[in-house]
């Protein structure tokens, strides 16, 4: 510790009264500092958050400083853009003001974006087929595991019908929903690809789908599944169409490459492929083998790796054709990546170094090149590009309801520094002396020593809690005065990371998160996000672009609406993977379509998220019985409040009117006395009507 001759017994004649960050000698201006008086604009916010990088062609910042949506991509006309902040105002606004009264958080789906994704994917492969002179066609499938929501799957089948677009299932319930949707809405030629591990029940269900006229292909993930297929087909009298997943040598690095290569979870190696061919040939069913499937890995980073893997698989396809299999389709699996951070690079799992069109050309060209060399007719090219289809179509909107404040010392608290022990007061005086000299290194060393010494003396009972708080605030002011960056402030969000952003917690996936309004104002606060759960992992402190904090605005006062953030590109996997940690369920959901109305959109479907009763039922509790037990210990007015609590969503509600609107609609609770509810509060009548229906 640098020596400074200071007499600790000398009275501190409250020098601190004049010691705040503004009175420190000016620290050198850092290259990253921006004068606060500089003008700000929506365009600067768009650049700061790289919206044009990850959001094109669907998301942009409009002149009002709100995030807006181009529902038809680049083909969206002026006047068709949808202001996301206005959608939230409509969905979460009070009913008497024309809103829907939905509780937050809110998932906003844009089926027009989904349609555009389906059309764009098929257009890219159509261009690739035409530009390379390919001798067959593209016919994709949507892997329903990416998002099994009923309306998402139905939309994709409907939008994909002109393209013979089909579905892929990986489990029995997924197969059931795929069968139902394709029978009701699908093109008769659409593929139904059956992946995943299989037993007799799964295989029998897939064969039953063939009897319904569905173009079903049973893909072998393991060699022993062939025996199950043969036995079930004989028992049911249905001749199967079989595919197999090949385990390639090609793989890529990073998290998403762990499912590929020779040590991948799925697929047959060369010896197993030959064994399947031998068995099928021996029983006269080699013509049933018609599809080759493989998976290089999700988020394939480059077209070079893609071409290498597709080329290897095409060689296997041609060998199977040479051996006499009735090959028709090569299924390149998933892997078409999303540019989550907008860098258009191959350096991390958060981006890819190609466009959709470049991906399609690389696939088609690689297959055609190998087949031409081997003299094999070009197969139908299939892909399972689920992430690329659904990621853009939804936005999760949530509210930041409070934030930590920077340390401050008022005059009364500052005088507590005079009551410190002699050695602490000596450190304090040395800090002040070094600050006056502009010796910031020495100042920082003494400030750290003061903080450590005060903490030790607090633990020994020498100093009180008030003294500890005063020292902490003083040291924070010293750090700011020396030009040290202010540590990020914690913004508390009305959300569960585990429920709505599971990939962020589980695998470190990063999604674009930005404010959806006030982007014409400078976001002058660096913040991190902390969720509602009682878990230290329930936070977001890593953001796209390598940031460890997110530029945010000061929160509005309580007299105004909330401060809303949006998480983008999360339409794949997050809903199905989300859990019920702390019994926080999913968000409210609205479907929003472009229309010719005054705000360019129409809400075509709206539903509140799971209630407290719903999440309790999911864990085998019986809310109706719980309510009956509890109401025996209270009066009728409190029973009505309990019923509303069961019917409300688990998330926080800060608008009293919204709390009433969100309660009771799905709880199933009721009172034994209709009059008692009316006596409790006349305005509760409507809520009791929602709750009436099940009495235990």
Retrieve residue 554's tokens: 């000061």
User: Residue 589, SS3?
Assistant: strand
Within 10 angstroms of residue 305's Cβ, the number of other Cβ atoms is 22
Cα separation, 332 vs 351, whole angstroms: 20
Catalytic one of 382, 443, 534, 612: 534
591-596, long-range: CB < 8 A, 24+ apart: 591/109, 591/110, 591/111, 591/151, 592/82, 592/87, 592/108, 592/109, 592/110, 593/71, 593/110, 593/111, 593/112, 594/71, 594/72, 594/76, 594/80, 594/82, 594/112
The candidate with the shortest Cα–Cα distance to 395, out of 253, 238, 278, 500, is 500
Retrieve residue 497's tokens: 């990371």
Bridge partners, 552 (sequence order): 525
Cα separation, 145 vs 334, whole angstroms: 12
Residue in the structure block whose two tokens are 């929003």 = 592
Retrieve residue 505's tokens: 């917690």
Cα separation, 387 vs 695, whole angstroms: 44
* DSSP sequence for 140-203: -EEEGGG---HHHHHHHHHHHGGGT-EEEESSHHHHHHHHHHHHHH--TT-EEEE-S---HHHH
Residue in the structure block whose two tokens are 């509060």 = 681
Cα separation, 411 vs 2, whole angstroms: 30
Retrieve residue 177's tokens: 């929903």
DSSP code, position 274: H
Cα separation, 415 vs 426, whole angstroms: 15
Retrieve residue 458's tokens: 């607090």
Cα separation, 25 vs 140, whole angstroms: 66
User: Residue 266, SS3?
Assistant: coil
* DSSP sequence for 656-685: HHHHHHHSSSS-----S-HHHHHHH-GGGH
The candidate with the shortest Cα–Cα distance to 395, out of 70, 80, 639, is 70
Determine whether 534 is an active site residue. yes
Within 10 angstroms of residue 208's Cβ, the number of other Cβ atoms is 16
149 Cβ contact partners less than 8 Å away, ≥ 6 residues apart: 575
User: Residue 601, SS3?
Assistant: strand
Residues with catalytic function: 534
């Amino acid at each position: 510790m640098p020596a400074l001759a200071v007499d600790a017994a000398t009275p501190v004649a409250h020098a601190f009264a004049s010691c705040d960050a503004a009175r420190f000698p000016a620290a050198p201006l850092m290259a990253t500092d921006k004068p606060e008086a500089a003008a700000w604009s929506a365009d600067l916010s768009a650049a700061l958050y790289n919206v044009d990088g990850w959001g094109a062609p669907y998301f942009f910042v409009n002149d009002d400083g709100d995030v807006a949506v181009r529902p038809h991509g680049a083909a969206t006309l002026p006047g068709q853009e949808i202001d996301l902040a206005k959608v939230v105002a409509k969905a979460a606004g009070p009913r008497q003001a024309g809103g829907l009264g939905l509780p937050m958080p809110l998932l906003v789906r844009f089926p027009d974006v989904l349609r555009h994704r389906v059309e764009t994917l098929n257009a890219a492969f159509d261009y690739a087929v035409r530009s390379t002179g390919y001798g067959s066609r593209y016919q994709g499938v949507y892997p329903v595991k990416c998002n099994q929501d009923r309306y998402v799957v139905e939309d994709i089948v409907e939008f994909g019908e002109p393209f013979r677009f089909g579905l892929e299932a990986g489990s029995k319930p997924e197969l059931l929903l795929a069968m139902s949707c394709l029978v009701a809405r699908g093109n008769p030629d659409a593929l139904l690809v059956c992946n995943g591990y299989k037993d007799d029940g799964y295989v029998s269900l897939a064969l039953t789908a063939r009897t319904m006229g569905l173009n079903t292909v049973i893909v072998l993930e393991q060699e022993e599944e062939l025996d199950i297929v043969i036995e079930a087909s004989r028992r049911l009298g249905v001749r199967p169409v079989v595919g197999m997943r090949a385990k390639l040598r090609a793989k890529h690095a990073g998290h998403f490459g762990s499912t590929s290569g020779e040590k991948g979870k799925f697929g047959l190696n060369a010896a197993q492929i030959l064994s399947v061919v031998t068995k099928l040939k021996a029983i006269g069913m080699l013509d049933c083998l018609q599809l080759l499937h493989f998976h290089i890995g999700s988020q394939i980073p480059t077209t070079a790796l893609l071409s290498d893997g597709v080329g290897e698989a095409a060689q296997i396809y041609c060998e199977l054709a040479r051996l006499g299999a009735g090959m028709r389709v090569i299924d390149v699996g998933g892997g078409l990546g999303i540019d989550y951070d907008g860098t258009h690079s191959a350096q991390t799992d958060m981006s890819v170094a190609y466009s959709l069109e470049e991906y399609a050309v690389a696939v088609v060209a690689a297959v055609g090149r190998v087949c031409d060399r081997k003299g094999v007719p070009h197969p139908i090219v299939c892909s399972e590009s689920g992430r690329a289809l659904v990621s853009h179509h939804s936005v999760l909107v949530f509210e930041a309801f409070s934030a930590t404040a920077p340390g401050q010392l008022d005059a009364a608290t500052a005088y507590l520094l005079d009551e410190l022990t002699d050695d602490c007061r000596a450190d304090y005086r040395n800090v002040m002396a070094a600050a006056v000299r502009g010796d910031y290194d020495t100042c920082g060393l003494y400030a750290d020593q003061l903080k450590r010494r005060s903490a030790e003396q607090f633990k020994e009972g020498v100093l009180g809690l008030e003294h500890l708080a005063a020292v902490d605030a003083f040291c924070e002011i010293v750090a700011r005065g020396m030009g040290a960056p202010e540590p990020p402030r914690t913004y508390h969000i009305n959300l569960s990371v585990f429920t709505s952003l599971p990939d962020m917690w589980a695998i470190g996936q990063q999604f674009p998160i930005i404010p959806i309004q006030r982007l014409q104002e400078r976001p002058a606060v660096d913040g991190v996000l902390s969720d509602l759960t009682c878990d230290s992992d329930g936070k977001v402190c890593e953001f796209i672009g390598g940031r460890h904090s997110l530029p945010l605005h000061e929160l509005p006062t309580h007299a105004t609406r909330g401060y809303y953030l949006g998480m983008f590109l999360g339409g794949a996997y997050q809903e199905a993977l989300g859990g019920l940690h702390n019994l926080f369920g999913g968000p409210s959901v609205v479907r929003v379509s472009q229309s010719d109305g005054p705000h360019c959109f129409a809400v075509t479907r709206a539903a509140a998220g799971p209630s407290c009763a719903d999440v309790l039922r999911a864990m085998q509790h019986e809310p109706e019985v719980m309510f009956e037990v509890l109401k025996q210990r209270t009066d009728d007015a409190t029973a009505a409040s309990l019923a509303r609590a069961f019917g409300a969503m688990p998330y926080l509600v800060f608008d009293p009117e919204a709390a009433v609107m969100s309660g009771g609609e799905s709880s199933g609770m009721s009172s034994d006395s209709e009059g008692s509810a009316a006596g409790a509060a006349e305005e509760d009548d409507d809520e009791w009507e929602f709750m009436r229906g099940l009495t235990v």
